[in-house]
Every structure is written in C-alpha cells, then in structure tokens.
Amino acid sequence: MINFNYETEFKLTNETNLAAWLTSVIASEEHKEGEINYVFCDDDYLHKLNLEFLEHDTLTDIISFDYSIGKELHGDIYISVERVRENASEYSTDFEEELQRVMVHGILHYCGYKDKTESEQNAMRAKEDLYLIRL
C-alpha cells in the first residue's frame, strides 16, 4: 500500500492516480508492493533527517529508508517540496514533473537501481524517463 503523508502545507491533488502509477512501476520492475510511505516536508525537516541518520550536512530533495524484504518493497520516502521546487526551476522543468521524477526515483532505489556512478545515474535517469512517459 502506498501512503502519502504531509509535514508541510503542500498536498498532492492526484493521490489516487499517483499511487496507481507507482504500483504499476513496481509491478513492471517485477517486485511486490508492500507498505511504502511518502512524507512530503520542507528543507529544514529533511536536513535534520540527513544530519541525524546519514551524517550529511547538506540539503537534498529525497531521502529513502528501505525496509524491503526480498522482492517485497517497504520503506519511507521523504521528499523536500522546497528542494524539488528549486530543482525544477534550476532544470527549467515543471514542478509536477520534477516531483514525479523524485517520487519514482525512490521506488527505483528500492528495486535495486543505484546512482553513485555516472553509468548508474544514466540508467536511473533512463528508467525515470520511461516511467514518467507512462504516467
């Protein structure tokens, strides 16, 4: 089950469609959907998590905590709406598209995709693009 939670004034307007889309991504990647919680927050909230759990003193758009068991995906995905909005502006893209990219990015990490090297980043971006088109 995909759940959406809010620690900021922001609220998705199309939760049902986005949950169905993410469910289809999980199935396409041959994984099973477990309990996945999205938490939309601001930079301060996510920065505190980044410091506490990852010991990174930086701003980021997403942090995911993966509790998956084999092919059954479970986890918490925290997204800074402020950071996504700024990144959308920086990359000259629509806020909704950037938000959806970050949302699917978290799921793809749970499916085993990495983004540390340039080749991993390219593979991740190709998968994000593929699933964004399907939305």
- 105 is an annotated ligand-binding site residue: yes
Q: Is 31 annotated as a binding residue?
A: no
- Cα–Cα distance measured from residue 102 to residue 95, given in angstroms and rounded to the nearest whole number: 11
φ/ψ bin of 70: left (φ > 0), alpha (ψ from -120 to 50), beta (otherwise): left
Which residues have CB under 8 Å from 8's CB, separation 6+? Answer: 40, 41, 42, 45, 81
CA atoms within 13 A on the CB side of 119: 0
Binding-site positions read 105, 109, 115
Binding-site positions for Zn(2+) read 105, 109, 115
